[in-house]
Amino acid sequence: MGPLVSQRYLSTYRPGWLLPIRDLTELVEHRDLLSLLITKELKIKYKGTTLGFMWSLLNPLLMMVVYTAIFSVIARFPLQQYPIYLLSGLLPWTAFAAAVTGATLSIILNGHLVRRVKFPNQFLPITSVAAGLVNLIPSLGILLVFVPAFGRSLGWPLLALPLLLLLQAVFTAGIALILSAVTVYFRDLEHLIGILVTVWFFATPIIYPLGTFSGHRVLGTLLLLNPMTWLISGYQAVWYYDRWPEAWQLLALAGTGVALWVVGALVFGRLQRRFAEEV
Amino acid sequence: MLVRRSLGEWQELWALRDVTFSVRAGETLGIIGENGSGKSTTLKLLAGILAPDRGSIEIAGRVSSLLELGAGFQGEYTGRENIYLYGVLLGLRRHQIEQRFDDIVAFSELGSMIEYPVKNYSSGMYMRLGFAVAVHLDPDILLIDEVLAVGDAHFQQKCFEYLEGLRAAGRTIVLVSHDLESVRRFCERAIWIDHGRVSADGPPEQTIQSYLDATARRPVRAPGEDYEVPGFGRLTGDVRITSVRLLGNQGETRSLSPQDRLTLEIGYTSDVSSGVGVQVNVFRNDGTHCTDANSYDEGVPLRLKRGSGSVRLTFPRLGLNTGTYDISIGIFDPAAHRFHDFHERRYPFTVRGGHAVVSIDHTWDLEVGAGKRAG
């Protein structure tokens, strides 16, 4: 049994900014780690529960029932088949929120690994993002059943789904990288993140239609500048309105996502150097 | 540089400074030093877990490190799952781990326990799995911190045999240890890190000797200084231990064998004329209290006169086996129940020979029964 790898593993550790490009090759080399971490995350999430993975379907359904019950009594939005509208935004949002909160804690919760083994730590927040998406995809099956059941039509715009998922992944990963690294130094974020995500939820047209604040100049504009509005509107276009997502929203989302990823990689690379001491 | 908060202020603490050394491919290097001297930090830097604030580190080859017991196992995971986790953490592909899986399980001697969560393992089992995983994933460079101190003698022996094999195969091994004997036995070269700097670098024998010499020369505590022997209050300072020599069969030494005679020559200066007791405790480096001698308890009268002199304590046959030991010496006033002076674990020595804890004098006798004669 000869050595697996030879001298091509030449690493130099120096102070300073780590080049994101070197991290990329590291990510490729460790690709089996990612699948293992995702399996682990999902296993742990449903460990000991009777219904297991079914919870990722049940949860949004129960939320849908609650919100529908509330909003058909308190505030009536001018929307036909409100549960469909709600679900089409709520499902991707749940994946996003779970990924962001999970990523925030990911480095700290895996401190024992970070302290003892050298591996690309980026995989920890990225695992949270991937696990969120792995949960999201089968739950979209609910819509596939519900939309026709509520008498609404589905069509070609469904083909935009893979693109929406990809954009969601990139955008979420950028945020996850930044939050996970910053939390190591600023632990208060761990407690703040819950309230931030809640605020963001209400600042995104998920339970109400986009036009709700069009009369209000500031709120209306803010709503349109929210990247999650672009993403969620895309899903709503596909599932609820049966039309193609707005091109400008997708482009803006792609731009924001890539920018966030680059910033995230830099911030993470910089802060990573002291993880082992801080966690 | 470590920046730590103390009393609301930030201060700079250099865990390591001006440390420069290189290790040839295929070399076995030992790193010795006291607790907090920077040994483990050095290893973490080599492992790439910490990044240096200044300077640089270059490494050619795949590094596997066994920095703490268990290498980062997940308690909920079975032994099997942890083998895979550790493998992929090191950057191996699944199929590469599969090829080595059976060897790892065989080496760890865990048998069917490999299918149980590691949280149910004993510390010995944990350690065996950790070692088995770290050495079987074919590192070019293996970094080991202390871990060999744990585990039974049989497994320790097996580990060293395996490491010998890796060394023969040209792998590079860096071993951090308190156990000077392991370093002496196993390493081709040793460096001594003291207060974040390299104090000695050379053949293990030499490095260990300078380490032991320096430890013996540590400044003697000022008499009456704010030092308390637990349960006995502050030192009186009336009698001071001024020198301590360890004498073996051939004069002063710090390296002994179990059969050797060991004489402690304790020099003192006394301001009073009075009866004293002298107490000597021998500890192994893992904290085990191995033996003690107490002149007062043993009914030996020691009456000091004002001025200088020396007390000798002799163990005709040491009896302690392979290991690193430390001696504490105290001179006390039996009537006042206080210590005049106390040197806590300040006199280290090593023993080579024997594998059990101690060698106890013994005799053999053979009695042959009358037996039956045929016919």
Highest mean pLDDT among A5-14, B85-94, B204-213: B204-213
Nearest Cα of chain B lies from the Cα of A261 at a distance, in angstroms, of 23
Contact between B70 and B89 (Cβ < 8 Å): no
Instruction: Please tell me which residue of chain B has the smallest CA distance to A2.
Output: B138
Task: Please give the pLDDT value at position B10.
Answer: 57
Nearest Cα of chain A lies from the Cα of B190 at a distance, in angstroms, of 23
Task: Please give the pLDDT value at position A14.
Answer: 47
Instruction: Please tell me which residue of chain B has the smallest CA distance to A40.
Output: B77
Instruction: Determine whether the interchain pair A117/B65 forms a contact, defined as Cβ–Cβ distance below 8 Å.
Output: yes
* DSSP letter for each residue of B36-86: TSSHHHHHHHHHTSS--SSS-EEEES-EEEE-STTTT--TTSBHHHHHHHH
Instruction: Determine whether the interchain pair B92/A4 forms a contact, defined as Cβ–Cβ distance below 8 Å.
Output: yes
Instruction: Determine whether the interchain pair A44/B72 forms a contact, defined as Cβ–Cβ distance below 8 Å.
Output: no
For testing contact with chain B, the best of A19, A27, A33 (most B CBs within 10 A): A33
Task: Please give the pLDDT value at position A12.
Answer: 54
Contact between A230 and A253 (Cβ < 8 Å): yes
Does position A261 have pLDDT exceeding 60, yes or no?
Answer: yes
Instruction: Determine whether the interchain pair B61/A4 forms a contact, defined as Cβ–Cβ distance below 8 Å.
Output: no
Provide, rounded to the nearest whole percent, the portion of chain B with pLDDT above 70.
Answer: 88
- Across the range B261-279, mean pLDDT stands at 93
Using DSSP bridges, classify how beta strands B2-6 and B289-294 pair: parallel, antiparallel or unpaired. unpaired
Which residue type occupies A211? G
Chain B residues within 8 angstroms (CB to CB) of chain A: 2, 44-45, 47-63, 65, 67-68, 71-72, 74, 76-77, 84-86, 88-94, 96, 99-100, 137-138, 140
Residues in chain A with CB shorter than 8 Å from the CB of B59 are 9-13
In chain B, what are the domains? Answer: 28-215 (3.40.50.300), 220-351 (2.70.50.60)
Task: Please give the pLDDT value at position B91.
Answer: 76
Does position A19 have pLDDT exceeding 60, yes or no?
Answer: no
When comparing pLDDT for A125 and A71, which is higher? A125
Residues in chain B with CB shorter than 8 Å from the CB of A6 are 61, 140
Confidence of residue A225 (pLDDT cuts 50, 70, 90): very high
Does position A21 have pLDDT exceeding 70, yes or no?
Answer: no
Task: Please give the pLDDT value at position A269.
Answer: 83
Provide, rounded to the nearest whole percent, the portion of chain A with pLDDT above 70.
Answer: 90
Helix (H, G, I), strand (E, B) or coil at A176: helix
Confidence of residue B154 (pLDDT cuts 50, 70, 90): confident
Instruction: Determine whether the interchain pair B52/A1 forms a contact, defined as Cβ–Cβ distance below 8 Å.
Output: no
When comparing pLDDT for B28 and B369, which is higher? B28
Q: What is the mean pLDDT of chain B?
A: 83
Using DSSP bridges, classify how beta strands B262-270 and B239-248 pair: parallel, antiparallel or unpaired. antiparallel
Confidence of residue A1 (pLDDT cuts 50, 70, 90): very low
Q: Which of A127-136, A213-222, B179-188, B226-235 has the lowest mean pLDDT?
A: B226-235
For this complex, say whether ipTM is above 0.85.
no
Task: Please give the pLDDT value at position A252.
Answer: 96
Does position B15 have pLDDT exceeding 80, yes or no?
Answer: no
Task: Please give the pLDDT value at position B9.
Answer: 54
pLDDT tens digit sequence for A101-141: 999 999 998 888 888 888 888 889 999 999 999 889 888 88
Residue for token digits 């370093």?
A: B183
